[in-house]
Structure 1
Amino acid sequence: MRERVMGTELLTVLSPGEAAAVLGWLRDVEAVFSRFRPESDVSRANAGGLVAVSELFLRVLDEACAHQERTGGLFSPFLGAELARLGYAVDFDSVGVAEPTPSGPAAPGRIPRPQVHLDHDDSTIRLPAGVAVDLGGFVKGWSVQAAADALLSERGLIDAGGDLVAWRRPTDPPWRVGVTHPLRQEPVGVLELPEAAAVATSSVVRRSWPSATGGRLHHIIDPRTGDPADSDCLQATVLAGDLATAEVHATCLTILGTGEGPAWLAEQDPTAGWLTVDRGGTVRHSPELPLGRTT
């Protein structure tokens, strides 16, 4: 099944009933977390004041904050204001030429973590002035993984815009997933996935838009500066045990670059595989990554 949800294309290799259930679940999640729907929990929280939110919102934000703490703030779910400043305040298909405002000194949404009021008993949130939640890529990975975990099928695949979860029986042939070069738009290679795997890709090319000051802007924000990441890494792909973690690690790899990033990831998750493409087009990958040829 192919559908569009969460601003991306959804591909499932499942029974019709399971595919419909996954699509319905992802649409429900989108209604809670979209920055572009005024009635969503995220939009209402970002508008300011003490806001009642759903248990789903609190659960996902808690998990995102746990990743923020684990990565020392290199991943942050509180960069919505920075994205809006750069022109990404509407659905990506509607983003035009942006006139970004200067980032200035470190804002509350950056390192360290802002003082967010969360009350789980009353299911409420209050954000500090100047801070906005953005859980876009993280919640996509989290919700796809949750959908896969809830299914009973022995073999399946859920792919949301290239970020995917796949599982199979030990005796089944492996899922083979292609990785595309961001500059040449040709296959880099094919990942032959283990029995249960998650693959996430972070790219500064895929979601980028022109700046009125020249050049291009993109949606991978470095929390240390509040500006688009400016490392040598154009694209990072991570193979991990769950998709939310893979999303976080791919984002951090892109921010850190091809020099510092792999060593950082090895400390965070020694079992994770990775592949990067730098600004010169050079492809590097971890030795254990199950990368095969395209033919």
Structure 2
Amino acid sequence: MSLHRFNAMNTQFFTKGLPVGAQEMSEGWMATIEGKLSRFNPHSELSLFNRSAGQPFLASTLLYEVMNEANRYYEATEGLFNPYLGHVIRQLGYSKSYELLKGEAVTHDLKTKPFECDIPVIFEPDIGVIRLNLRLAVDLGGFAKGWSAHQLSLMLQQAGIRSGAVGAGGDITLWGVPEEGWTIGIGDPWEASRDLMTLRVRYPAGIATSSTVKRQWKDHFGQFHHHIIHPHTGASARSDLAQVTLFAPHLVDAEVYAKCVVILGSKHGFEWLASHHPSCAAIGVLHDGSIRTVGRIGQYVEEGELLHAWSY
């Protein structure tokens, strides 16, 4: 099966197992998503929505759906996943596309802190209007990538493509399973050129990897920050986990829950995942280099290969 790569949303996407027409459809869909949901594009619909905070905003069907879905996860995780930290992440220095931050010292306002907000957004489904709390800004970040890849997979399945893969940065959605299965690599968070392990996936799955190591930048005090923000502190999450790869039946679940586990750390995060989402499983890489797992990984990958990988 041919591998098709293209760039969108400041990351590399890939598809596998798709005919040429479906590959072109994939590129067009992701270009549409980038035009609608990029917070770095001042003309995107998301940027217009953020500038409308406090006022009714007549949203496109796409923006309304993705905001409704993001807010549903915000409520379900009791704010642990928080798409309303746009001002916070900007003040920490992530104010432009990541590749433009490398090697820069950025200034941020240390006085600004996140706050509890009972009603961050109001939806009016009858007329397609969204009203964002005046003090908030939305940053969909990795959620938009995972959501868009999942939506693309549904469209491709509706078009009659029974088996395929779509990758969006650290997110992958797999549907159907070819006879040889799907082979995926779990990357080394400290060395981009190599994998910690290679696994064979025999079942449909959504897989998301969240890392505190790969997207870092330095402020003018010389302090490092990363893009996974703890919603209670307004600072980059500081836990014992450097990276989490999470397997779920649904890619958007994997994207959201991977970040939640990273924020909570290996002990509380693994306990949270096991008690709240027993259908999921995760592979965590700690800052000391050790690897831990939670959940029934065998639901998704061949256990023998997984155990062999642990001998690394």
Matched, 1:142 2:122: no
**C-alpha contact (below 8 Å) 2:274/2:294 kept by paired residues:** no
C-alpha displacement at 1:178, in angstroms? Answer: 0.5
Listed one character per residue, the Cα deviations across residues 79-134 of structure 1 (whole Å, up to 9, x for unaligned) are 11111101112111222322221154443xxx444442332333233322331011
AA aligned opposite 2:228: I
Sequence identity, in percent?
Answer: 34
TM-score by length of structure 1 reads 0.92
**C-alpha contact (below 8 Å) 1:164/1:200 kept by paired residues:** yes
Counterparts of 2:154 and 2:308, CA distance in 1 = 30
Show structure 1 runs of 4+ deviating over 6 A: none
**C-alpha contact (below 8 Å) 2:39/2:46 kept by paired residues:** yes
Q: What is the aligned residue count?
A: 291
Counterparts of 2:59 and 2:258, CA distance in 1 = 29
Matched, 1:4 2:21: no
**C-alpha contact (below 8 Å) 2:170/2:210 kept by paired residues:** no
Matched, 1:85 2:91: yes
Counterparts of 2:71 and 2:43, CA distance in 1 = 23
Listed one character per residue, the Cα deviations across residues 253-293 of structure 1 (whole Å, up to 9, x for unaligned) are 11001111011011221021101111111111136323364
Change (3 A) 1:113 1:7: farther
Change (3 A) 1:7 1:35: same
Aligned residue number for residue 35 of structure 2 = 31
Listed one character per residue, the Cα deviations across residues 185-234 of structure 1 (whole Å, up to 9, x for unaligned) are 43222232233111101111111111211231111011111111111111
70, 74, 82: which is aligned to 2:80? 74
Give runs of aligned pairs for residues 250-265 of structure 1, distance below 5 A. Answer: 250-265=258-273
Give runs of aligned pairs for residues 1-295 of structure 1, distance below 5 A. Answer: 1-13=4-16, 14-48=18-52, 49-95=55-101, 96-107=104-115, 111-151=116-156, 152-169=160-177, 172-185=179-192, 186-286=194-294, 288-289=296-297, 290=301, 291=306, 293=308
Change (3 A) 1:184 1:136: closer
Change (3 A) 1:145 1:105: closer
C-alpha displacement at 1:8, in angstroms? Answer: 0.5
**C-alpha contact (below 8 Å) 1:145/1:244 kept by paired residues:** yes
Change (3 A) 1:113 1:234: farther
AA aligned opposite 1:197: A
Change (3 A) 1:293 1:167: farther
C-alpha displacement at 1:3, in angstroms? Answer: 0.8
C-alpha displacement at 1:18, in angstroms? Answer: 0.8
Q: CA RMSD in A?
A: 1.9
AA aligned opposite 1:8: T
Secondary structure at the aligned position of 1:66 is classed as helix
AA aligned opposite 1:280: D
- 176-185 or 79-88, larger mean C-alpha shift: 176-185
C-alpha displacement at 1:2, in angstroms? Answer: 1.1
Counterparts of 1:158 and 1:82, CA distance in 2 = 31
Counterparts of 1:252 and 1:141, CA distance in 2 = 15
**C-alpha contact (below 8 Å) 1:79/1:223 kept by paired residues:** yes
**C-alpha contact (below 8 Å) 2:85/2:114 kept by paired residues:** no
Q: Can you give the 5+ residue segments of structure 1 that lack an aligned partner in the other structure?
A: none
**C-alpha contact (below 8 Å) 2:211/2:243 kept by paired residues:** yes
